[in-house]
């Protein structure tokens, strides 16, 4: 999978130290011990990933809405991981773990046809043409994701960046990895709005009157 670029660690960043206070929720090495991972999923609970989870609002609200599911949020920034962990503890949430790991490494410990849902919410759009190679959603990403999702699983994508959304829609058409089952160019004025769970960025965009683009896709048979 194609990673997004990690923000360099600054020497005076207090979160590089405080993150170690939350190792019960944050897998610092990215890949959790197998025993710990199996314990987290005990009972074969549905497994949901949030790639680029930010400070955890979407994870918190998803975990509260679906307590029977198990959620893992992936984030590269120390501050957001710490804020996310604090949020889960404040709300007494036990069905969430956070991981400081690049998306390209998921296949090292997530088995084939293991995932029930994967969310990519408002990733960096890398708007300049010369930087678009850094975008998360590209053909190799979709090829890997198709294999990791269950055949009944779904991939969901939200963004405020129209060109990025258009390129993803076109990419899904060009490849044979996924079939789009929901598509909206203005999520909050669509039939899908009632099922939507907000992110931090999403509320900011809505307050500015900006549309949110949304799609849901199912993996095509391997």
**Residues identified as active-site:** 124
Question: Residue 19 has which token pair?
Answer: 């993150």
CB 149 within 8 A of CB 118: yes
| 96-99 and 26-27 strand pairing | parallel
How far apart CA 193 and CA 189 sit, in angstroms, is: 7
| Order of strands across the sheet that contains 96-99 | 26-27, 96-99, 70-74, 47-51, 115-121, 149-159, 213-219, 178-184
Phi/psi-derived region of residue 113, left when phi > 0, alpha when psi is between -120 and 50, beta in every other case = left
Tokens of 177: 């990895």
């Amino acid at each position: 999978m194609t990673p997004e670029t990690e923000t360099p660690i600054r020497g005076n960043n207090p979160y590089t130290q405080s993150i170690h206070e939350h190792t019960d929720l944050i897998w610092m090495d990215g890949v959790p011990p197998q025993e710990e991972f199996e314990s987290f999923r005990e009972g074969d609970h549905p497994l949901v990933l949030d790639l680029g989870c930010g400070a955890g609002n979407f994870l918190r609200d998803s975990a509260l809405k679906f307590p029977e599911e198990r959620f893992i949020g992936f984030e590269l920034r120390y501050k957001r991981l710490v804020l996310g962990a604090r949020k889960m503890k404040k709300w007494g949430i036990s069905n969430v773990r956070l991981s400081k790991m690049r998306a390209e490494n998921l296949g090292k410990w997530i088995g084939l046809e293991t995932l029930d849902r994967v969310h990519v919410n408002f990733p960096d759009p890398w708007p300049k043409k010369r930087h678009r190679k850094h975008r998360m959603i590209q053909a190799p990403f979709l090829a890997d994701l198709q294999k990791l999702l269950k055949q009944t699983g779904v991939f969901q994508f939200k963004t405020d960046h129209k060109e990025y959304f258009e390129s993803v829609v076109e990419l899904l058409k060009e490849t044979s990895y996924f079939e789009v089952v929901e598509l909206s160019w203005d999520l909050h004025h669509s039939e899908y709005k009632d099922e939507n769970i907000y992110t931090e960025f999403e509320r900011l965009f809505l307050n500015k009157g900006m549309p949110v683009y949304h799609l849901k896709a199912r993996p095509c048979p391997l």
